[in-house]
Each structure stands twice: as structure tokens, then as C-alpha cells.
Amino acid sequence: MDLPSTPELAPLEDEKPKRDWRFWMIFVSISMAMFLSALELTAVSTALPSIVNALHGSQFIWISSAYTLCATAFLPLAGGFAQVPSPHSTASGRVLTRSLQVFGRRPIMLGAILVFAAGSAVCGAAKSMGALIAGRGKCQGLGGGGIAALTHIILSDLVPLQERGMFNGLIAMVYTMASGIGPVVGGSLAERGNWRWIFYLNIPICGLAAALVLVFLNLRTPAGTIQEKLRRIDWVGNVLVIAATTSCVIALTWGGVQYAWNSAHILAPLILGLLGIAAFMAYEVFVPKEPIVPYTLMMTLTGLSGYLQTFVLPLSLMNVIYYLPVYFQACKDASPIASGVDVFGLAFSIAPFAMIGGLTIAKSGRYRPQIWFAWVLIMIGSGLLTTVNADTSRARVIGFEIVAGAGLGILMAATFFPVLAPLPVSTNALALALFTFFRNFAQVWGVTIGGTVLQNELKKRLPPAFLSVFPQGTAVAYSVIPVIPSLDEPLRSEVRAAFAGALRVLWQVLIGFGGLGLLVSLGMKGLPLHTSVDRNWGLNEDGSKRQSPESGSQEPKQV
């Protein structure tokens, strides 16, 4: 059940912050950073077959999985650097009432952008699949995860939850604009053999975003020395979650593609990873005085429902983003750039419905009806896609995209409301870091599940004569999508039908994801939304780098 606020859990709140030009420049800076992350993610999706073919690789799933792996595994550490529990907690150390900063919002966001830029340079210069995967994971993933987490945390510093629907809608529109532009840019460059510029173009955008962050992102810095704050980082918990996440992703990436699902190569890391996650959660509850994931974040049914929905949403979103272009390229002879245009229906239905969802939440103060409606739309859209075959008209497929995109857009703006509504505002940073962890970890599962379904179904459906040409299996068959138009009949039609049939099974899986999301959403309650923000954070009114008041000097205030 959802617990009412108590003096121990009460947030430190202040009057609504001012919205002058500095506020809007901060909003532009974090929007630019989010644009950068989304642009790169979606640009790679349409260029993936061309990249794999050019580098003569077989493990195409790792191009996306490596990114989401590192973006996910290091998120708790990034959240810890941005905010660490203060020593003013309860005796058990499990209830977070006030927070102190380690390095601050601006240095962490700036560092994430610069690391992302370095990773883009490595990927653009890659001469092998291994080098590309290393750049995607070790640099771009770390930077992208930090950008995603800090965007939500900074927004929570400046805008009360009650008003955040509109701003979340604006962020979702920025993300969607990048998602719409990305496939076309990626496809255009891949079609001309210039796929490396997908990564090189990130560098000047990173420079602009970093400049905006450096100049305008001047937020308060609560007191405390760096040494004191570093000592309060839960290093053991971070090591556990990084190791467990990595083990799970290795198993999910290899399963059904490189090794059979029942082989020791898959079962061992998967079991160890799941046990590691369980050990991490138990450790967080019983051992550290200042855990990176306080159990209070998920002690309410509404909050738990919100986190579970946060996990389920990317299972649908990532599969639609990554595998709709596969349909158009394999079944419609679409070039990479044409497939990018064909998924515009998805991208540009997400944006307006994200804004509509956010505005209706801000006006009504309610979030449950919008969320329930969105899950139903995802189920309907996925069901419509299951009727698609190799000969279905483009217009019909794009119409089905719009239905699914409407549901995805609403949820992108709404799922964090049940996460934050039961909690005091002083827990925003840790709650949003965990929110982003769930979302990014689900992206790993989403892309991997989709890739596994596609590969396994293609293995069953592709003509034996076609498979015999590729001794390394269907991962290589995926890389020959660009040559399907040159195949002789009837092989060409058989291959197209095989891809359409394999994707039909994937869309059926997405119906199940939508149903699961709707089911877990029934557990959330309609709680009132906070009307203020934590005064330990926010914009310095005089533009200086001053620190906020000491945590111990403020009396808690009831919501």
C-alpha cells in the first residue's frame, strides 16, 4: 500500500522556482544533450546492415547491446556522483531525507557529453567490428547513460512534479525529432558508403551541447568536501550491479545466436547475472548505511508498478525502432534512407502524443487514465502489425506505426509519475537514476529479445539453399539484406516472405509486452503530484556558484 508522508520522509521544499531566461537556457542545454543521445541511437538502426556488411562482422546485436550495457551498468555510479545520501538519515540508514552532492550536476553532465564525443570518434575510426563495439560500449554507452539520467534529474531540480508533464512532453518531442531525423541521416550516409559520419557528426553537436552546459547549467551545490562525499559512495553495490548486469547481457546477446539457449555458455552467465542482481538488492537492503538503491524507493505498490512499467516500455519501443527498418529493407527493397523515411509515422506520432499525455497530466493531476489508454494502444498497434506480410502496402504499415507510436509517446511522458508521486522530492535524484537504470536495462533485453526472435525464426524460415551459403548462421544472413533485391526468383520472394514471417512472430511478442504493461499498471494508485521542488537544488538566483543551505539547517516540510 502507499504510505502517507511522515516527518522522516518529508521533502525539503521551497516556493516555485522562477522561470527566467536562465531557466530556459538550462532547459535548452539538457534538451540538446538528449537530442544528441537519441540521434545517434536511431541513426545506427537503419545503417546497421550496411555497417555489419562493411566490417564483415557477424555479432550485429553487440553494436546496440554494448551501448545499452555500459549505459545501464554504470548508471548507479553516475547517480551516486550526482547525489549522495547525507549523514542525516535514520539510525538504520535506509530512509533518505536529505542529500548532498559529490561533483554536482554540471560536471557530471559535461563529463558524460565529452565521453560520448570520445566514443563517437572511436566508432567513426573503427576498422573492425571489435573496435566499433568497444567504442559503442566503453565510451558512448557511458556518456549516453549519464546524459539520460542527468537530463531527468536536472529537470526535477527545476520543475515540480505537478507541472513536469508539459516539460516531459517537450523533452519527448526533442527525443522524437532526433529519432525521426536519425534514421534518415543514418540511412542516407550508409547508402552512400559514409556510415562513419553517423559517429563523426556527433562531435560538433557534442561541442555545442557542452558549451551550453558549461555556460548555463549553474545549479546549487550543497555543502561538503569531496573526500567526505566519495566515502559515502556505495562502491561495493556498484561493483555488484555492474558485474551482474554484464553477465546477463552476455548471456542475452549470445543466446540462440552464437550458442544454444540450453548450453553452459548461456545458462552460466545468465544464472550468475540474475543471482548477482538478487544479491545486489539484498545487499542494498541490509548492508550499506547509505545505499544507492534505498528500498524505500520501491516500498509502495504504486512505485513498484511505475518501475515495472518503466522496464516493460522499452521492450516494445526498441523492437519497433530497430526492426521496422528491417522490414522495409528486406521486404520492400527500401534503401537505408528510404527505410528511415518509412518509419517517420512512428517517430512523428510519438511526439504529439507525448505532449498530449504530458499536458493532460499537468492539467488534470491524474496519470492513470493516460497510462492505461497508452498500453491498450500499444497492444492494438502491435496486433495490427501482425497482419503485415511482404506484399502489404507501405501506407498501411505506416498507419499501423502511428497507432503503436501514439501509445509509446504517451508512456514516454507518463511512466515516471507513479515512480515519483509516492516519494518525497528529496529522493528525486536516486529515484530517477534507478528509473533510468530500469529503462536502459530493458533496452538491452528489448533489442536482444527482438534479435533472438528474428534470428531463430529466420533460421526456420529461410530456404536451406540460402542458409547454406552462410556457414556462420543467420547473423550473417542479416548482413546481406542489401543484396536481397539482386537474388533470383523464386529465392528472392522466399527470402522476403521469411523476413515478414519472422517479424510477424516478433510483433506477436510485443502484444504480450503491452498486455504485461497494462497488467502491472493496474496496481498503481492515483496519488497527488508534488507542487514544489527540493530547495537544496535548483538554479542559483544570482548566477553564482554558491552552495545551498546546509541540510541540517532546514526543517522538513509536510507535502
- Closest CA relative to residue 455, chosen from 467, 438, 437, 439: 467
CATH classification number, 21-234+288-545, choose in 2.40.50.100, 1.20.1250.20, 3.90.660.10, 1.10.1740.10 = 1.20.1250.20
The owner of cell 492494438 is 380
- The answer to whether the predicted template modeling score (pTM) of the entire model surpasses 0.85 is no
The pLDDT, as a whole number, for residue 433 is: 75
The pLDDT, as a whole number, for residue 376 is: 96
Largest CA distance in the chain: 78
Q: Mapping DSSP to helix (H, G, I), strand (E, B) and coil, where does residue 474 land?
A: helix
What DSSP designation does 446 have? Answer: H
The owner of cell 548492508 is 287
Chain segment 33-51, per-residue pLDDT in tens? 788 777 777 777 667 777 8
Q: Using CA atoms, how far apart are residues 515 and 517, in angstroms rounded to an integer?
A: 5
Is pLDDT larger for residue 413 or for residue 13? 413
Kindly compute the dihedral angle of the four CA atoms of residues 460, 462, 464, 467, in this order, to the nearest 10 degrees. Answer: -100
> Where residue 227 falls among pLDDT bands split at 50, 70, 90?
low
Chain segment 254-300, per-residue pLDDT in tens? 776 677 778 888 889 889 988 988 888 888 777 777 777 777 777 88
Contact (Cβ atoms closer than 8 angstroms) between residue 48 and residue 339? no
Q: Using CA atoms, how far apart are residues 129 and 62, in angstroms rounded to an integer?
A: 9
Chain segment 506-515, per-residue pLDDT in tens? 999 999 999 9
Q: Using CA atoms, how far apart are residues 6 and 361, in angstroms rounded to an integer?
A: 25
Is the preceding omega at residue 490 within 30 degrees of 0, hence cis? yes
The pLDDT, as a whole number, for residue 554 is: 36
| Per-residue CA distances from 274 to 240, 249, 285, 355 (Å) | 11, 10, 17, 37
| pLDDT above 70: percentage of residues in the chain | 77
Q: For the chain, how far is it from start to end, CA to CA, in angstroms?
A: 18
Residue type for position 102 = V
Locate CATH 1.20.1250.20 in the chain: 21-234+288-545
The pLDDT, as a whole number, for residue 7 is: 36
> Where residue 532 falls among pLDDT bands split at 50, 70, 90?
low
Is pLDDT larger for residue 537 or for residue 335? 335
